[in-house]
Structure 1
Amino acid sequence: MRTGTRTALAAALLLAVGALPTPAVAATPDPTHVDGRLPSGATYLMDVPADWNGTVLLFSHGYNPGPANPAQNSPGDATKALLLQRGYALIGSSYASAGWAVTDAVPDQLATLSAFTERFGAAARTIAWGQSYGGLVTTAIAERHPERIDGSISLCGLVHGGVANWNNTLDPVFALKTLVAPDTDLPLVNLPDQQSAATAADALTAAVDSAQSTPAGRARIALAAALHNIPGWNQPAQPRPAPTDWDAQQAAQYEALKGLVKFPAFSWRQEAETRAGGNMSWNTGVDYAKLLGRSSVRKEVTELYKKAGLSLKADLTALDRAPRIGADPDAVAWMSGTSSFTGRLAKPQLSVHTIGDALVPVQTESALKRAVTAAGSASRLRQAYTDNAGHCTFSPAEQLAAVDTLEDRLAAGRWIGTDPDSLNRRAEKADPTTPTRYVPYRPAPYPRPYDLAHPADGR
């Protein structure tokens, strides 16, 4: 056959092959997305993949001051995409109200789970999980409605409970008012409205800013931060201070403390007091020298006091002699009954925390462990820690590792691989593109624990 003929024949063959239909590549169907509204007025989100693996993840979102109040069903878009790829159904509600909404959040989350079952059928496995304030909501579900779930995960959660939270929020601002704003008459509790809360926050912030300009003021700010266990590395964008770089640690605490004053100590407190019907925290009978002795940053405080030529003993005496704040018993009863914990876990719970959290310090995990141990549920709890600064700054890999660890516990009937190396291996396998930072860690004691396993404690 001549060359020209062979070339023409080959070209014709290629054209014929190109004209043949191309086998279709199976596209992954989009998840079924559902927006809905509950009778309470709360909205909810559901995302269910076509190849649903039978497990539903009920996500409780963090504290939302409002007025916008959107529903959430995952910690973030990147984690959501990875979980949907793995076949998980993701659901969660907005809660019917913003703020300290536990009395709305728990029933709305359970109603969302019921709505899911009505539409998609019963799940083979249900895991409740949540972050920050949503960790409190999740733990409330785990303790009070264990029949609705198979296990739970708290991420950077307020697992110390409501009374402990508001007591420990009071301590640093009490120290600031006493030591850096002694001539002011600003209220710390019983705030009548948001305007009064904002005015008080602005006045105390101005005093803190002024104090930061002197060595004595910086030492006193460090003392106030120590009473809340605010770490010296608490934002991912901050360079990590050296272990004995007291000045750099204090500078980071100063910024975090101003954030606490601006929102939780006044604005968020006022909203919670309105729900509770009064002031739900106290410092009557509190020994602040003892609290400082338990703090994870006490060494920094003593060094900064020495550097300033200031008497730490004298300032602790001033705190001891300052007029104390008593609580409204009915408000304490409301906060205790709705937002504190017994420690009784009927189902497994994994609680995960960053070690550099200023808003919900890692020591909250000590308070949870104390309650769970007293209630005889220690075998059902595991706690893990990531070496990062900030509140809820987990990577998608670390979040998926937590889900996988609880899934393994539920499948095997016992905890498997809860050590940092195993958690990091799970994280790297789940998402090799984001950090894996689980580390061995033991938090200091929580400064002022309060739980229903120790009903007479906390004063």
Structure 2
Amino acid sequence: MTPRTCTRTALVAALLLAVTALPATTATAADTSHVEGRLPSGATYMMDVPAAWNGTVLLFSHGYAAGPANPAQDAPDDATKVLLLAKGYALVGSSYATTGWAVTDAVPDQLAALSAFTDRFGAAGRTIAWGRSYGGLVTTAIAERHPDRIDGSIALCGLVQGGVANWNNTLDPVFAIKTLLAPGSDVPLTGLPDQAAATATAGALTAVVESAQTTAAGRARIALAAALHNIPVWNQPTQTRPAATDWDAQQVNQYAAVKGLLNAGFNRRQEAEARAGGNMSWNTGVDYARLLGQSSVRKEVGELYKAADLSLRADLAALNRAPRIGADPAAVEWMRDTSSFTGELAKPQLSVHTIGDALVPVQTESALRRAVTAAGSSALLRQAYVDNAGHCTFSPAEQLAALHTLEVRLTAGRWQGTDPQSLNSRATAADPSTPTRYVSYRPTPYLRPYDLAHPADGPDGR
């Protein structure tokens, strides 16, 4: 069945729904079929198919959903969706059956939504999986574990470092905050029994950080905590981009991001721990002096410590002496098996990141590159970077440029035009009304990488 024969007026769709109990279908003014339905898992799905379908279907995986509201999404944003439909792409995506760290639901639900699309509209000539933020992790899981269902994939601002690495890297800054700014506190950082406990921990440490921000020593220590998460010094589009040596302005920008990390991080950790059956992160064996030496903002930390007349060496020694947090092996195994990656790609993947992302730092791309290189799949991966602050702050033009770049790779059989000039040219051609900011960039190392190609990087600290 072709997409043209599936297009219906709203009236005809309503009549068909009444007599056949099929998923709801409507036709927009642009003559696009819009279908909504429910999967056996309970997840909802949505599809949009233009009358002049170009034969490509885009399977979109949405980002992390924390609350009860969990609508299906089939595009990253409304403006991009309009452009995609105008260019003839079919769109599909599900809600996932549950919210939170829902990869075990998300992957099968996305594949089921894709099957529902095929049943409804026929086989696509090309299928591309893509997703943003947590949806980038879901997309990468589909790419590694179900390559037979897709032709290629795009991860936008994704958690492509995998689950174990993510939770280890979010443990380090809060460990530093508690050790250096609240050394007598008994506030738990892991093993949170419920959301109330998570909220209490976040509130307690936020109050500590707010108090510390009032002194030079406190600000230096907040910067050190930020450095252990590679929080950039420009991380929101509303912030002024600080000068290279304006250490105070840089720290103020990081301070806001640290508070945001505390507010979101503990509640999400508690939900993930509940799924994993325990704490899936550790800092046993971690040398915090070595981590700081690899951080993208280590220079700023040193300068702020000097200005505060505070010993950075002493604080790093205090971190290294402090009692450590061990992981629950079964929880690590669950997170490893569900949410970590081998790097073994069978189909091309393009991964795109903004350089000023505090929530999912751009260094996640280094972790992905490490895994893919170790697996011998580097020819299938390309990475691109957008010069903007914030998490997933891509323009519609930049997102379409990524899509068209992957399409060129799928058609030609080799990567072409992955340099910033070519990407910006494609972006401008796709949508001249929105920004095009691809740049040459090489991220510093991800500080706590963990992937299935490096099994020695385990909770024993080796």
Q: TM-score, normalised by structure 2?
A: 0.93
TM-aligned CA deviation for residue 388 of structure 1: 0.2
CA distance in 1, matches of 2:154, 2:355: 17
Report matched runs for 1:13-412 at 5 Å. 29-264=30-265, 266-412=266-412
| Residue identity in the other structure for 1:385 | Y
Cα distance change, pair 28–193 in 1 and its aligned pair in 2 (3 A): closer
Q: Partner of 1:269: helix, strand, or coil?
A: helix
TM-aligned CA deviation for residue 158 of structure 1: 0.2
Q: Partner of 2:160: helix, strand, or coil?
A: coil
Q: TM-score, normalised by structure 1?
A: 0.94
Q: Which runs of 5+ in 1 are unaligned?
A: 1-26
User: What's the counterpart of residue 452 of structure 1?
Assistant: 452
Q: Partner of 1:263: helix, strand, or coil?
A: helix
TM-aligned CA deviation for residue 457 of structure 1: 1.4
Which digits, 9 at most, give the CA deviation of each residue in 1:180-229, with x for residues without a partner?
Answer: 11121100000000001111110000000000000000000000000000
CA distance in 2, matches of 1:101, 1:277: 14
CA distance in 1, matches of 2:68, 2:183: 35
TM-aligned CA deviation for residue 30 of structure 1: 1.8
CA distance in 1, matches of 2:49, 2:31: 9
Q: Partner of 2:398: helix, strand, or coil?
A: helix
CA distance in 1, matches of 2:318, 2:102: 36
TM-aligned CA deviation for residue 127 of structure 1: 0.1
TM-aligned CA deviation for residue 29 of structure 1: 4.3
Q: Partner of 2:383: helix, strand, or coil?
A: strand
Which digits, 9 at most, give the CA deviation of each residue in 1:47-86, with x for residues without a partner?
Answer: 0000000000000000111211110000000000000000
Q: Partner of 2:174: helix, strand, or coil?
A: helix
Question: Larger Rg: 1 or 2?
Answer: 1
CA distance in 1, matches of 2:325, 2:93: 38
CA distance in 2, matches of 1:201, 1:151: 39
Which digits, 9 at most, give the CA deviation of each residue in 1:17-71, with x for residues without a partner?
Answer: xxxxxxxxxx974210001100000000100000000000000000111211110
CA distance in 1, matches of 2:188, 2:127: 45
Which digits, 9 at most, give the CA deviation of each residue in 1:276-332, with x for residues without a partner?
Answer: 000000000000000000000000000000000000000001101111000000000
| Residue identity in the other structure for 1:299 | K
CA distance in 1, matches of 2:119, 2:278: 40
Q: Which runs of 5+ in 2 are unaligned?
A: 1-27
CA distance in 2, matches of 1:379, 1:49: 34
| 1:433 aligned onto 2:430 | no
CA distance in 1, matches of 2:415, 2:129: 17
Taking only the aligned residue pairs, the percentage that are identical comes to: 79
CA distance in 2, matches of 1:143, 1:369: 14
Q: Partner of 1:260: helix, strand, or coil?
A: helix
Count, aligned residues: 432
CA distance in 2, matches of 1:30, 1:44: 20
CA distance in 1, matches of 2:182, 2:102: 32
Structure 1 residues 177-186 or 267-276, which shifts more?
177-186
Q: Partner of 2:238: helix, strand, or coil?
A: coil
User: What's the counterpart of residue 16 of structure 1?
Assistant: none
Q: Partner of 1:45: helix, strand, or coil?
A: strand
Displacement over 2 Å in runs of 4+: none
